[in-house]
Amino acid sequence: MNNKLTVYFSTFLLMVLLCISSTQASARPIVADLSVRSIDIDHDFTGIDVLLFGAKQDPGDIVVVVRGPEKPHVVRKKERFLGVWANRESVSFNNVYQYYSVAATKPLDKINNQSLLDILAIGVEGLSPASITTTDDIDDFKKALIKQKQESNLYSNKIEKISFWGETLFRTVLKFPKNIPGGTYTVETYLFSDGQLNSMQVTPIHVSKIGFEEFMYDFAHNRSLLYGVLAIALAAAAGYVASWVFRRY
Amino acid sequence: MQIYLPIAELPVNIILLLALGCIAGILSGIFGIGGGFLLTPFLMFIGVPPAVAVATSANQIIAASVSGFLAHWRRMNVDIKMGLLLLLGGFVGSTFGVWIFALLKFAGQLDLVISLTYVLFLGFVGTLMGIESSRTILKKRKGIAETANRGKWVRSLSLPLQTYFPRSETTMSALLPILVGIVAGILVSIMGIGGGFVLIPAMIYLLGMPTNIVIGTSLFQTIFTTANVTLLHAIGTNSVDIVLAVILIFGAVVGAQIGTRISSRIPAERLRWMLAVLVISVCLKMGIDLFITPEDPFVIELLLGR
């Protein structure tokens, strides 16, 4: 991975030079790009680091947010009922990011515009997934959802660092963990100047299985009957072969 | 050594999975139970989604059962006639069971009912088996011959279709194994396991079959039950992970062979006693889990099929 990062880093320098020239031409206050535009999941995938690099023309603070594809989730709460713990209340959430991470040049509260950050859904604490059903203690359900996502490393626990080269160039490493779901992720780079949104840029990144992993996934979903029959046949054959191999012992 | 699982969507350690499969296989070979009751929770513990864990365990149990069944078959330890009747009942029972399952799910307390069924049923079966096998072991020590009169009153009921089962050396109504199969099928659909837990005690204590034959016969029936479950999951939830299953199977087939050899060297009543201890331990674990305060009262599920 270090070698890869070195390669990325030289690309980064090159790109930044290009960026600066193009930025000045188009007068965009912020430009950013990623070391890769797609993440391939194959048999030895164990997570990946992606380098985000960019340049800003105006003074201000950079915030980078990565959002994974949204999926509906259910949160159930266990309560004591006749002595045993049973699921009682449940809340369904329609669109929950399966992945969420934030990197910033300074703590988010120092940006001094919490309401704006909330509107843009920046910061794990500010996330408020919309629920289909509701209860009195809905906030506890939301907190539990976010907490469990953090425990499985899918939501960031802290604000990741963004490092600067001089006043203009910045970079940060986006760490995608081993259990990321497939789909299209968005990487949003914001520039806040004096608590106001100066500029933003969105870069998509595609996470997908390739080769054998892609084939198996598609097979299981698109030809499920055949897949099931194959699973049974494989298991039965394995059992038969094993018993034949071991028959003399 | 890590390998990425395409359906579970995460990488796992191959050596760990092989060891896990092997342990499940040994249990399967010794007792005729699939090991699903240990495998499924452990897979969930290492991060495999519950649906994938359940479905893939079922797939794995097929291999372990085929391997164990053939080993028992070669030793003539299978009563096919009995097995077919149990299977007939099993299909009727599991169809009915799936319907009950849907009703419970609609009522919203499926998890709890599953846990309670496990605790009550395993507690009952385990205690019965423990008492009986301890008695037999003690009797043997005192030099009294084992008497095969377990559950004789059941078989002496004057029901129609009296049939002789040469392999089990017993005569009873063909309706009895069908009935046992139906009850087992219902419980299997609700409890989501291979069925050995339900079938083995019933065959020993109600049908009065010799323990060594009971295991081979139960494995025969389990092959078909778990194949059915695997197919239903593959179609319904797309949650069978063949890569995960194949790794587990590698470990399990080896384990099943070891287990079968162990089982033919241990006296029958000792096997029953060991199974009783295992069943009671699982029952206690599940029972305690129902009462202790969970670390996190919230359970989060990804909604499938949208």
- Number of Cα atoms under 13 Å in the Cβ half of residue B144: 8
Q: What is the mean pLDDT of residues B254-281?
A: 83
Rg (CA), chain A: 23
pLDDT at A1: 45
> How confident is residue B306, by pLDDT bands cut at 50, 70 and 90?
very low
For A63, residues 6+ apart whose C-beta sits below 8 A from its C-beta are: A102, A103, A104, A105, A108, A111, A122, A189, A190, A192
Instruction: Give the tens place of pLDDT for each residue, A90-122.
Output: 888 888 999 999 999 988 888 888 888 888 889
Question: Could you tell me the strand order of the sheet in which A61-67 lies?
Answer: A38-41, A196-209, A183-193, A61-67, A100-104, A160-161
CB contacts, 8 Å: B224 with chain A = none
| Shortest distance, CA A106 to any CA of chain B (angstroms) | 32
- Indicate which of A41, A48, A79, A84 best probes the interface with B, i.e. most B CBs within 10 Å of its own CB: A84
Residues 61-90 of B with CB under 8 A from A: 62-71, 74
The tokens for A179 are: 């259990």
**One-letter amino acid identity for A247?**
R
Q: Do B253 and A242 touch (CB under 8 A)?
A: yes
- Rounded-to-integer distance, Cα A162 and Cα A172, Å: 5
pLDDT at A69: 93
Which of B4, B7, B306 is nearest residue A220 as measured by Cβ atoms? B7
Does the pLDDT of residue B192 top 70, yes or no? no
| Shortest distance, CA B137 to any CA of chain A (angstroms) | 29
Does the pLDDT of residue A246 top 70, yes or no? yes
Q: Do A43 and B4 touch (CB under 8 A)?
A: yes
Instruction: Give the tens place of pLDDT for each residue, B120-165.
Output: 888 888 888 888 888 888 888 877 655 555 666 666 667 777 878 8
Does the pLDDT of residue A224 top 70, yes or no? yes
Q: Do A216 and B257 touch (CB under 8 A)?
A: no
Residues 37-76 of A with CB under 8 A from B: 41-46, 71-76
Which of A43, A74, A247 is nearest residue B303 as measured by Cβ atoms? A74
Nearest CA in chain A to B8: A179
| Shortest distance, CA A27 to any CA of chain B (angstroms) | 43
- ipTM, 2 dp: 0.79
- Rounded-to-integer distance, Cα A57 and Cα A69, Å: 31
